[in-house]
Amino acid sequence: MKPLRGITTISLVVILFILPANIRFGFSQALVDLRALDGFSARGTLLERRWEEQFLAVPSAASARKHLRRLTLEPHVAGTKEDYATAIYVRDQLRSYGLTAELKEYQVWLNYPNSPGIVELIAPRRERLAVREAIVSADPTSSNPGITPLFNGYSPSGDVTAPLVYANYGLPGDYDELKKAGVDVKGKIVIVRYGNSFRGVKAKVAEDQGATGCIIYSDPADDGYMQGDVYPKGPWRPVASGQRGSVQYLFNYPGDPLTPGKPSIPGVPRLKVEDATDLTRIPVQPIAYDVARKLIAPLQGPVRPRGFQGGLPFAYHVGGTDDVKVHLKTDMDYQTRTIWDVVARIDGSQDKDRWVIMGNHRDAWVFGAVDPNSGTSAMLEAARGFGQLLKQGWKPKRTIILCSWDAEEYGLIGSTEWAEEYADELQEKAVAYLNVDVAVSGANFSASAVPSLWKLIRSVARDVKDPKTGKSVYQQWQDRARDQRPEAEQGLTAEARIGALGSGSDFTPFLQHLGVASTDMGFGGDYGVYHSAYDSFYWMAHFGDPTFGYHVAAAQLWGTMAMRLADAEGLPFDYTDYAYQIREFFNEAVRFAKRRNLESSFDEKTMYAAVDDFLKEAVRVESNRQTAIAQVANSENESKLKSINHALATAERALIDARGLRGRTWYKHEIYAPGIYTGYAAQPLTDFQQALDDRNTTNAKDSLERVVEAIKRATSVLRQAHD
């Protein structure tokens, strides 16, 4: 336990005397833990801990439960009247807590099904197959007439009949295996299983391979009975459940397909649909695994290659012969439709033009109890906590903005359009973006973030209690990480890993388009009803979080993180972790390049030198930050601290390359972006790694030079803090 720097008994008494009465109340409890908070002076730590103590006491399980029940009463696909009703609910709740909150509208290109898709077995027999999920008698909302049939966002209308080929997960390597087996998918319909990548990747690869249509199903090996008991007995996907979702080519660009890089507001020119490069051209249809069984079981042709076998109780064959033919039809209603973000703000008292942004999406494919409204409930509880503090006289130093995004499920649309509309302001003013999508599907905490915010995440996790164990969230997180390490590593004391940010949620436009430092976090668990009608209040109350204690913990973590970023005298960023992480990424890439005999195609020394310089500057800034915080009462140091804070907040921007990534110019971050085939997962040093994957030595050299330039720009920003 680290004592407060420079605090004595006398200074504690003096500080206590000058604190406002409402802060002095209960002060003895605060003395139990005198750990200095990163970014805060001794006096600032005491003030912050007292405010945090009051904040942590506000979020409640009963209130979170009430929010979730209200938000999951009806299916609320983006752009529908039910979706609008949730926007009004969130706005009005925020206003009732004393926050300024408004709706922000965008007009975006969305599809709904005109009629249920048709998946029909033509041979060896004729049978029309189900594209709706079954009613589960135990779950009252599963019979709601507003539940859409299974469909994919951004699938085009199409009507094709062709032989069927089973292509495993539908990734490039799977098609390579089919070719080795003598199976060509050109002119055929492919059936692929969910998993290992984003569904839009599966549609894109199928299209590139010449398939005329794509059927996607959830295999029981991945999230069904092979994982455990299925719903309603357990949390896993039942036989008649499918996964909706967008097949937008998110790896090209997110947001409204017709306004890439620009907001979907009146006066902004729109692309013709045929010119949009993030839309698939072949019909795509999701189905449940009881339906998939009827399609895969009769397939002839070669027995599946290694890794193709799923969990259905027979040997999979890959098909491609005329023995099994399928009729696939999708009929879509595409229109420009209105969506509604909700944006609330708490203006800062000292630095109003520095923004700490919290975001979560609100739209769902059906009820969305886990995805996303566990996050919406947590946001509302955090906002309720802020409201209580405001009534007690608290005001953050920096502005806090809370955003409830719409149409995330179609392709991060609400967040992307807002970020594109306010791009200039965000690049000037944003401190950080704190994302929560799925706040709760279980009890296991995890986080992803840029490395400069790793220490902040761990610090906050130390100060929030895990509802089940009574330990801190941090300790529970560490214990689980230790237990999951290989036996040979059990003695190591390394901290639980914080992941890299890829895509698939609303941090994407902030980090990868604008260069705003970002985080994403939540509590996970056994969750097999993703994007189905069974992601419902009943599922959450029986499996995800029956006590709603983890909704409370999520609100506490999220709100406390925002408060520390908003209130710290010296922003709690640490770029030394960033430098070490970039070096680790590059070391991995070099090892990969050597295995492919490509190491002579690029200059390792220049990259390592750039990282070393970045590290030296990060260490220097950190030392100066600590000194300035300790002497914050000195007016000269206040000016220095302001300069350091500016550098810390904007160094991430320097990792943006205005030219964009190769062939994907919307993505501009040189360190973090999704790969073309990785789906939601990050592919660090993205273009450089892709060039190595492609064995393209010219691109590898050019891409690494761009990375080096970006690191040098970030180093220069940090250096300016004390030049």
Please list the active-site residues: 408
Would you list the DSSP string of 610-663? HHHHHHHHHHHHHHHHHHHHHTTTSHHHHHHHHHHHHHHHHGGGGGB-TT-BTT
Residue 164: how many CB atoms within 10 A of its CB? 29
Tell me the three state secondary structure of residue 398: strand
Are the beta carbons of 664 and 657 closer than 8 angstroms? Answer: no
Give me the helix-helix angle, 373-391 and 549-567, nearest 10°: 50
Distance from C-alpha of 403 to C-alpha of 379, rounded to nearest angstrom: 9
C-alpha torsion 626→630→634→635, nearest 10? 40
Q: How do beta strands 325-330 and 118-123 pair?
A: antiparallel
C-alpha torsion 313→319→325→330, nearest 10? 80
Sort 421 into a burial class: Cβ within 10 Å, 0-12 / 13-18 / 19+: middle
* 145's tokens: 């007439």
Distance from C-alpha of 665 to C-alpha of 657, rounded to nearest angstrom: 9
Tell me the three state secondary structure of residue 432: strand
Cα 593 to chain centroid, rounded = 29
Q: Could you write out the three-class secondary structure of 356-387? A: EEEEEECCCCCCCCCCCHHHHHHHHHHHHHHH
Are the beta carbons of 598 and 689 closer than 8 angstroms? Answer: no
Residue 423, phi then psi, degrees to nearest 5: -55, -45
Are the beta carbons of 410 and 153 closer than 8 angstroms? Answer: yes
Find, among 344, 525, 321, 343, the residue nearest to 443 by Cα: 525
Distance from C-alpha of 31 to C-alpha of 12, rounded to nearest angstrom: 9
Would you list the DSSP string of 44-66? HHHHHHHHHHHHHTS--HHHHHH
Distance from C-alpha of 438 to C-alpha of 447, rounded to nearest angstrom: 11
Find, among 520, 589, 528, the residue nearest to 557 by Cα: 520
Q: How many residues does the chain have?
A: 723
Would you list the DSSP string of 229-291? PBTTTSSBPPTT----EE---TTT--S-TTSTTS--STT-----GGG-TTS-SS-EEEE-HHH
Give me the helix-helix angle, 604-630 and 575-595, nearest 10°: 170
Distance from C-alpha of 312 to C-alpha of 294, rounded to nearest angstrom: 10
